[in-house]
């Protein structure tokens, strides 16, 4: 069986840097930070880290009926908005598609944590009879995918991938495989996250993984910088429209890039720490390259996982050196988490969107706040300023999650051959 070619035809993004592809990409290219003081958590419940990449201008009523808003957690609302933005960007008329050939793979690392916290307070303060009958549908992780399928009549495969911070990258990979095999024509692929809640932030803060640079929020996320002190929680969603090339060409769809490689491995090492040598991550990247038939020296740009943690940034740098050898020094590598914060389960799809737009516009986005490079992180991280008019034929996106989950996605500039 000849595998179907898979292309990205629509991008829907909701983040603290901007809502919608154009505003988001403009902010990324300009080096705009979306990190600020937290407003969603009462001061008394805030841990030592009081900053996050919070979205302050999102109105779910723009995308949903008031009754639907009441029945959904924020992570679902963000995903729904991103799905509508992706459809609009792809210029898709959903009524013309065979619904049985349209599917969804959308995940979340945490799910409806705000709903969990809210309903637990109701339980303890008012008793079990006062809990919402929608409690379970609001909190379970698969409901973003379920809502997207119902709202858009997508009756094909409907799946939810959960691999911590690699979640939406694996969602992209799983959707890619379904199209490759000819099971579907169109897939909604990505993830969403709304983790700016008391319990989530307290848990990460207790593990000493969050930055406490509270007086300089916009400078707090510092991937690969010697002075980094932890990551920044972010919220948002990214849903991409993936299509078989034949389907996209038939309807004259816009094409951002072609997805050509997907690698997935496990560290089998530690629940939170990566392998220090980055071996598991390196194997995922090698698998993606091998599937695409691409040589390491053909890759121009890497969107790093780059969370701004001490161990993670070093391990990823070592992984890139393992895979790319001498070419590693020629790569343009950036962590856009320096601007968006870490969207946990939504990060991979958001960064896949960055790769697609980087290829289309020939722009390598920056890693902001890289003022004092860590000597152990010595690649070209495109410090502080975007690099324009650069050749990007192949772009790689790395995503790694607690539990040792590794995912690598490879994209290339679309051509008919």
Mean pLDDT of the chain: 97
pLDDT(1) > 90: no
Once rounded to an integer, what is the mean pLDDT over residues 39-58? 96
Length of the chain in residues, anyone? 417
- For residue 354, what pLDDT band results from cuts at 50, 70 and 90? very high
Write down the pLDDT at residue 242.
98
251-297 pLDDT, tens digit per residue, is 999 999 999 999 999 999 999 999 999 999 999 999 999 999 999 99
Give the confidence band of 10 by pLDDT, cuts at 50, 70, 90: very high
Average of per-residue pLDDT across 203-225: 97
Which are the catalytic amino acids?
Answer: 165, 305, 342
Q: What are phi and psi of 15, to 5 degrees?
A: -150, 175
Which residues lie across from 213 on neighbouring strands?
none
Give mean pLDDT, residues 195-214.
97
pLDDT at residue 123 tops 80: yes
User: Using an 8 Å Cβ cutoff, are 211 and 220 in contact?
Assistant: yes
Query: Taking a C-beta distance cutoff of 8 angstroms, is the pair 367, 384 a contact?
Result: yes
Q: Which residue, among 409, 77, 33, 31, has the nearest Cα to 234 in the 3D structure?
A: 33
E strands along 157-316, which residues?
A: 158-159, 186-193, 236-244, 257-266, 301-303
The C-alpha atoms of residue 17 and residue 300 are separated, in whole angstroms, by 25
β-pairing, 363-364 with 332-334? unpaired
**Is the full-model pTM beyond 0.95?**
yes
pLDDT score at 417? 79
Nearest to 405 by CA among 287, 209, 264: 264
Hey, what are 75's tokens?
Answer: 């992570």
Helix (H) or strand (E) holding 287: helix 279-292
Q: Is residue 2 very low, low, confident or very high in pLDDT (cuts 50, 70, 90)? A: confident
The pLDDT tens digits of the residues spanning 224-233 come to: 999 999 999 9
d(CA 245, CA 220): 41
pLDDT per residue as tens digits for the range 364-383: 999 999 999 999 999 999 99
Question: 389: Cβ–Cβ under 8 A, 6 or more apart, which residues?
Answer: 362, 363
Query: What 3-state class would DSSP assign to 33?
Result: coil
d(Cα 256, Cα 280) in Å, to the nearest integer?
Answer: 29
The single-letter DSSP state of residue 136 is H
């Amino acid at each position: 069986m000849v595998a179907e070619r898979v292309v990205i035809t629509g991008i829907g993004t909701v983040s603290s840097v901007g809502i919608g592809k154009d505003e988001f990409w403009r902010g990324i290219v300009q080096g705009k930070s979306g990190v600020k003081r937290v407003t969603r958590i009462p001061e008394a419940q805030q841990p030592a880290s009081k900053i996050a990449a919070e979205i302050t201008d999102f109105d779910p009523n723009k995308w949903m009926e008031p009754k639907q808003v009441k029945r959904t957690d924020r992570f679902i609302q963000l995903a729904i908005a991103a799905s509508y933005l992706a459809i609009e960007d792809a210029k898709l008329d959903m009524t013309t598609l065979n619904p049985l050939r349209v599917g969804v793979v959308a995940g979340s690392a945490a799910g409806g944590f705000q709903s969990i916290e809210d309903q637990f307070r109701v339980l303890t303060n008012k008793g079990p009879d006062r809990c919402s009958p929608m409690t379970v549908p609001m909190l379970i992780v698969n409901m973003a995918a379920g809502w997207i399928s119902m709202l858009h009549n997508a009756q094909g495969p409907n799946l939810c991938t959960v691999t911590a911070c690699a979640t939406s990258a694996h969602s992209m990979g799983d959707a890619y495989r379904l199209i490759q095999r000819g099971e579907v024509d169109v897939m909604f692929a990505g993830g969403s996250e709304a983790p700016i809640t008391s319990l989530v932030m307290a848990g990460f803060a207790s593990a000493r993984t969050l930055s406490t640079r509270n007086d300089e929020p916009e400078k707090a996320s510092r991937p690969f910088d010697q002075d980094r002190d932890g990551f920044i929680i972010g919220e948002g969603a990214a849903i991409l429209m993936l299509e078989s090339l034949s389907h996209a060409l038939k309807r004259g769809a816009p094409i951002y890039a072609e997805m050509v490689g997907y690698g997935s491995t496990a560290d089998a090492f530690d629940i939170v720490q990566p392998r220090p040598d980055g071996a598991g991550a390196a194997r995922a990247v090698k698998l993606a390259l091998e599937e695409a038939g691409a040589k390491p020296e053909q890759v121009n740009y890497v969107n790093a996982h780059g969370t701004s943690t001490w161990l993670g940034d070093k391990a990823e740098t070592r992984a890139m050196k393992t895979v790319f050898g001498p070419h590693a020094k020629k790569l343009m590598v950036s962590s856009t988490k320096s601007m968006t914060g870490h969207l946990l389960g939504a990060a991979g799809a958001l960064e896949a969107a960055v790769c697609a737009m980087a290829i289309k516009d020939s722009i390598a986005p920056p890693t902001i706040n890289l003022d004092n490079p860590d000597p152990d992180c010595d690649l070209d991280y495109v410090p502080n300023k975007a690099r324009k008019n650069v050749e990007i034929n192949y772009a790689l996106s790395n995503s790694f999650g607690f539990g040792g989950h590794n995912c690598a996605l490879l994209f290339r500039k679309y051509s008919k051959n």
